Structure 1
């Protein structure tokens, strides 16, 4: 916001005294000047100026509410949303407030802005105020960015694009159709050149969207937040270090997000890398990750697939197709990206989460030990069926 300043439209007119004259001539001069003076006043009013005598305003340019020094006593009532636009000066903001009857006059509002040092930091956004507020109170509201009206949306880790859109639709006034139109033309979302669509790139985080945010603006904000997270792990360089393309590293990160939590993520990432590098027994290059099968079947990624499910004909079925699936299956968060970028060291090829309540996960290279861990999980599920 630029520095507060007084209205440039205010125009002062000095009234010059008329010297004494005698007789009818004097009366004719007075009659001839009065219409001219009235015309000048009228023009000033039309043009947005004001008439001053000795520094006091006699005729306001736009009415006492817009240009006078009047102020409301406050605290006001009702609710009025005011939008501060990029490039608005204090005077422009005060005009907006006066027109909406939030403040009584532009002058009182500008004076309040001059007196409040925080007014220089008023941020772009929409604010909730009241009708007929004291000018200093209105400025105080605008000077606090915490008062920006926004739709606060939390998008958790591990969601597909479809699931993410469902959250955005519920939390904002934007329709599902509007999001689908933007997703159908992903070139406008700011995705990296290597992304084959938005899956995996709508970053999980908490967002504050202004009331008039469009579907494109929200999606672009999420992709921009992904870019920030990607830069923090140096994604492109990390992919090269691990022998992958950036797109492949994003796919690994999505698999890690689907399979683990917390400090086991780097170990799960290592299992993925080890399996990608193993062409023979016991894994034959197959990742065998349930979440990829569920993604192929378009259902919850945490579902337990049946034997029939594992035979689904899809490039995302990692029980049938060696190597990575074609792309991310969900949006990884910071921890999953970090784990994929810097996996733990180890020779593990298998892992089993043996306690779903605590997340305890056991790792091994030995297939027989893996079967023992699976039996341990089955015993757990026999007594904790609500978790399995």
Structure 2
């Protein structure tokens, strides 16, 4: 059996170490505080005896370091593991978003590389384009970006036009990118802006916000400017003049009531209000406006070689051409058909004249109703031979020139077989004409909403 008494240590300080107090202990048996080190003990004794502390011995005796604080229990660790400080959590979320965006950017790069190499880019974009745009903050915009505006455009605001009508007019003029971009912007405004009738100078490819600012800027309003297109009647013309110039409609109605005021011997100014863009001085009257338009019509008649005694006749033929022809070259062919049918003592049978006489010229279709075709009024060329009583619209320069200079040809019939393109078939025989009419009817079946 081994000896329980340990042999004496060879270290001369071993017994001294054994008799030193445990520095980890805080108090002795009597409850007094025990110093942590010999230095503290000497300093304490010196304070008690008012003597300076003794110098340390030349031989240092190492003292064990104080024990470290106890480690937290496992239960405490698990209890706090799920509680992430708020700031740390936010940073983690931002980092996660950056990583996700980085992944999508990497995907875009891969798509481009693959697309360039093997045409896979189109497939990948079709398959994941929406997700890529969403991840990168992209998206199809209904509006032009600021700074894209270029060129020029004119937009007319008429009396009674609201946000939707103006939005459509801006789109039709090429100002805005979509038909509802301007209106969508308006509904988000805290208050509705006021729009004044007139013609405005803008640019193409403007943002909705820029277009609104332009319409609200008086400098962009073409004061006393009116745009009158070809083919309008007197009634439609004076309505546009009132909207554009701010002159009461009643003033224009009174101004056109007596054609003799403008040295016109006809019973109406129909055909005499020349279509063009006019700019007048401030304070212009309705009568002065009408006189200017009649003078412009006379200028065009004179340029085409029309003698004064033939003005009403040529304006009547030109007004039919203006309403019937769709393409510039066809103006001169339609004029020839009118001359050939008059020479052959045939009924002109022009739908535009029947529609005008029955007041259905603007019903939105080229087809005439049975009532219009059979109504016995002096403009209906399905009932009365020769030219109608007078013009049915205001013709422009080309129509007047065509009335004076028809192209040579044997045609007696014509029909527009494609209302979208204006393709027109001219025929000599009624059989060929009937075949063209059948072609037109077939097109109308295939395009029911195109004005048939």
- TM norm. shorter chain > 0.5: yes
Aligned to 2:348: 287
Aligned to 1:355: 418
**1:246-265 superposed matches below 5 A:** 246-261=311-326, 262-265=328-331
Aligned to 1:201: 272
Aligned to 2:247: 174
> Is the partner of 1:314 in helix, strand or coil?
coil
Pair 147,294 (structure 1): closer, same or farther in 2 beyond 3 Å: closer
1:366 to 410, 426, 429: 429
Answer yes or no: is 1:271 the counterpart of 2:332. no
TM-score, reference length from structure 1: 0.57
**1:73-84 superposed matches below 5 A:** none
Distance 1:306 1:335 in 2: 29
1:186 to 246, 259, 269: 259
> Is the partner of 2:380 in helix, strand or coil?
coil
Answer yes or no: is 1:217 the counterpart of 2:288. yes
- Summarize deviations over 1:29-65 as a string: whole Å, max 9, x none: xxxxxxxxxxxxxxxxxxxxxxxxxxxxxxxxxxxxx
CA contact (8 A) 1:290 1:305 kept: yes
Q: Which has the higher contact order (CA 8 A, sep 6+)?
A: 1
Pair 148,320 (structure 1): closer, same or farther in 2 beyond 3 Å: closer
- Summarize deviations over 1:353-373 as a string: whole Å, max 9, x none: 111111111111110000000
Unaligned runs of 5+ in 1: 1-145, 240-244, 280-284
Q: CA deviation at 1:342?
A: 0.1
> Is the partner of 2:283 in helix, strand or coil?
coil
Distance 2:257 2:331 in 1: 32
Aligned to 1:114: none
Aligned to 1:340: 403
TM-score, reference length from structure 2: 0.49
Aligned to 1:101: none
Q: CA deviation at 1:300?
A: 2.6
Unaligned runs of 5+ in 2: 1-218
Aligned to 1:156: 229
Q: Comparing 172-181 with 302-311, which one deviates more in the overlay?
A: 302-311
How well do the aligned residues superpose, as a CA RMSD in angstroms? 2.0
Distance 1:215 1:254 in 2: 24
Pair 174,148 (structure 1): closer, same or farther in 2 beyond 3 Å: closer
Answer yes or no: is 1:378 the counterpart of 2:441. yes
Q: Comparing 169-178 with 294-303, which one deviates more in the overlay?
A: 294-303
Pair 166,303 (structure 1): closer, same or farther in 2 beyond 3 Å: farther
Q: CA deviation at 1:170?
A: 1.0
Q: CA deviation at 1:309?
A: 2.2
> Is the partner of 1:361 in helix, strand or coil?
strand
Q: CA deviation at 1:293?
A: 1.1
CA contact (8 A) 1:149 1:210 kept: no
> Is the partner of 1:157 in helix, strand or coil?
coil
Q: Comparing 290-299 with 151-160, which one deviates more in the overlay?
A: 290-299
> Is the partner of 1:325 in helix, strand or coil?
coil
Distance 1:258 1:381 in 2: 20
Q: CA deviation at 1:346?
A: 0.7
Q: CA deviation at 1:176?
A: 1.3
